A and B are shown apart, each in its own frame.
Chain A
Amino acid sequence: MKRVVALLMENQSGALSRVVGLFSQRGYNIESLIVAPTDDPSLSRLTMTTEGDARVVEQITKQLNKLIDVVKVLDLSVEDYVGRELLLIKLDSSEEAEAKVISLGGQVLFKNESILNAEFVGSSEELDKIVTSLSESNLLEVVRTGLSGISSTSKTLTI
């Protein structure tokens, strides 16, 4: 089962490497990981996705909590949450390509004679489908940010 864990950590050098190091050290498989400073500049927020049973994810959250730089951890996937990621693509520029992007709900960000850049925002599954259906249209490059998430309950990941 896919799990989404979000955490707040001190926004300082070394913190991220400790989090990432923990995953390899303890043999946890991480699918995606995304991190950025929060509105409180002393904190960074990290969201990771992983496959695993409840027991493994419980261990991951406990081990993360043990890191001194980690302020708070929340397993978003135990309750309702929304998860979104950003997909950026590069295509051979053409009328058809542009029409396709728009029909799939994307937004064109850049266009000239040869290149077209577009963005899509959605759940990971939606983006998977979009990538598949675009694969016929000469996709030159695809980049995804990995999932970011926020809970849909009263539980907040704030301090």
Chain B
Amino acid sequence: MSKEKLSGAEALMRSLQDEGIELVFGYPGGASLHIYDALFKQQAVQHVLVRHEQGAVHAADGYARSTGKPGVVFVTSGPGATNAITGLATSYMDSTPVIVISSQVKAHLIGTDSFQETDMIGVSRPVVKHSFLVLKAEDIPTTIKKAFHIATTGRPGPVVIDIPKSVTDPDYKFDYSYPKDVDIRSYKPVEEGHSGQIRKAAKLLLASERPVIYAGGGVIQNDASEELIELVNFLNFPVTNTLMGLGAYPATGDKFIGMLGMHGTYEANMAMHNSDLILAVGARFDDRITNDPAQFALGAKKIHIDIDPASLSKIIKVDVPIVGSAKSCLRQLLNELKKNESKLHKEKIEPWLNQIQDWRNEHGLNHDMLQKPSPSGKILPQQVIQSLYKETKGKAYITSDVGQHQMFTAQYYHFDKPRQWINSGGLGTMGFGLPAAMGVQLAFPRATVACVTGEGSIQMCIQELSTCLQYDLPIKIINVNNSSLGMVKQWQDMQYGGRLSQTLYEDSLPDFVKLAESFGHVGMKVEKLEELESAMKDCFKLKNKLVFLDIVVDQDEHVYPMLEAGMALDAMWLDKETKTWE
């Protein structure tokens, strides 16, 4: 490789190019001036100027989640760095590959409380997979290489690279070369599952009479959907997906029993609770899934495949823990099962499948609400999602914010493909939806991208509407407007005697149509069910425009089923009056 003299800032840009990065999201400032000048002098890496650093990280995250490739962010020191924290925490909780390159004050000023100095390494420490402080320009290429390696392998996660301004000094040049590979002695993620454990797992699977496959975000992250589907087809077992795992197994697939957990379907929660075997893949028995861990699926043996050893038996003790990547372990499991095909008796689980079907018939979700006006005469949020599904033929990329609208989307939009559903599951970050949609739309300029949001969430990163105009991002914003912080209100309705403490806005909401228009976009508003479908049509017809579709929905609608806290998975509210337990 020919040696070339580059400054730290130039080396940074070149390293990103050599890493294959085409897009970064960011916002400049004093400490990052050298970097932005080096950016200006090259063409290979395109920069997207957001309006707030939180938006930059969410956008990079949306890009990463939809493509599987790492998302990259530039922020300046001090406030630029701290503004990135919510985005980092969001990425950390959902294990997505995001790299934040933060500028820092000049090296000799570190620790002196100098202008715009924040200890970014310290502040970000609990919400990153790893971080680097670069103190020599020569270290930039290897640090970048390591950062991408760490962010994208094993259990993915965000990495911060903090670079003092002095390290990017244009006058100091060194021989640039980009390392071909990395070797970090303390970091060697295991891909392949232990063969003995795989054999044990296969045995349990073949012996089971009431099995459930419980698949999470790890299957999507690891591109293991194909293996999962093959396994399901082979075994004929029912599958449930977590909120993060929607799309891992197709929602319209015949073995799908819906999402599980807090707002999971009746049949998925009942199946988990009554099963004799749970195969968990790339999921982590989070408290939104298990309800009371001490009462969780007590009759079930548990097999758990996860790339992160620390996830195994963290909350629920499992019988067969398997450390490895979802893709590799599922493939190994399939091979092992195929060797023992003679022991597979599909008819053995017929009664179980019938039982699940009965549960579905009894209390399953109603996916046909569109034609039927609600008693209140108002549009129901479920109808919005059903209309969205119909209009986009289930093929859109959907990002969401956080709240009731998020849960309704998870329940009613049938995600058939991995990476199609992009939401903040772990941290539950309001404000995620719009910037995440920007990342998706930039990754797939021709794709249909919709952001399902609420009037509360959308206002948390509303400034990004301006970014959308600058980069011509024709995102469709579906604002499920219930004039309230609906999810919090729901808890207040159910558990606080309907005392709506600070969940209403007293007529202070903006006119979203005018607001969208003032940002240079199209705004539309719908209030009647009869107009919903045609408005949805008009919205998606405007292929090259961002459309903000403000839909006034019934404020009193709740998300059901809903688990009752402190109980087992079979304790659910099915509507405002009906519960499954005594």
Contact = CB atoms under 8 A, between A and B. Distances in A.
B126 interface: yes
B186 A10 contact: yes
Contacts of B185: 71, 159
A9 B187 CA distance: 11
B150 interface: yes
A157 to B, nearest CB: 13
Given A13-B133, A14-B133, A55-B313, A68 B125 contact: no
B314 interface: yes
B131 interface: yes
Interface stretch (A17-25, A91-99, A132-140): A17-25
A62 interface: yes
Nearest to A66: B310
Contacts of A68: 129-130, 150, 184, 186-187
Given A13-B133, A14-B131, A55-B313, A66 B126 contact: no
Interface residues of B, number: 19
B225 to A, nearest CB: 26
Interface in B30-82: none
B121 interface: yes
B308 interface: yes
Most chain B C-beta atoms within 10 Å of own C-beta, residue among A65, A68, A72? A68
Given A68-B150, A68-B184, A62 B125 contact: no
Given A63-B310, A68-B130, A17 B122 contact: yes
A53 to B, nearest CB: 12
Given A17-B125, A58-B313, A66 B186 contact: no
A9 to B, nearest CB: 8
Interface string A46-87: 000000000100110011011011111000000000000000
Contact of A59 (B121, B131, B184, B314): B314
A58 B308 CA distance: 13
B428 interface: no
Interface in A1-52: 9-10, 13-14, 17-18, 21, 25
B364 interface: no
Nearest to A9: B186
Interface in B80-135: 121-122, 125-126, 129-131, 133
Nearest to B308: A66
Nearest to A72: B186
Contacts of A72: 186
B520 interface: no
Nearest to A68: B130
Interface string B308-321: 11101110000000
Given A10-B186, A14-B131, A21-B126, 4 more contacts: A9-B186, A65-B309, A68-B130, A159-B185
Interface of A: 9-10, 13-14, 17-18, 21, 25, 55, 58-59, 62-63, 65-66, 68-72, 159
Interface of B: 121-122, 125-126, 129-131, 133, 150, 184-187, 308-310, 312-314
28 contacts: A9-B186, A10-B186, A14-B131, A14-B133, A17-B125, A21-B126, A55-B313, A58-B313, A59-B310, A59-B314, A62-B309, A62-B310, A62-B312, A63-B310, A65-B309, A66-B308, A66-B309, A68-B129, A68-B130, A68-B184, A68-B186, A68-B187, A69-B186, A70-B186, A71-B185, A71-B186, A72-B186, A159-B185
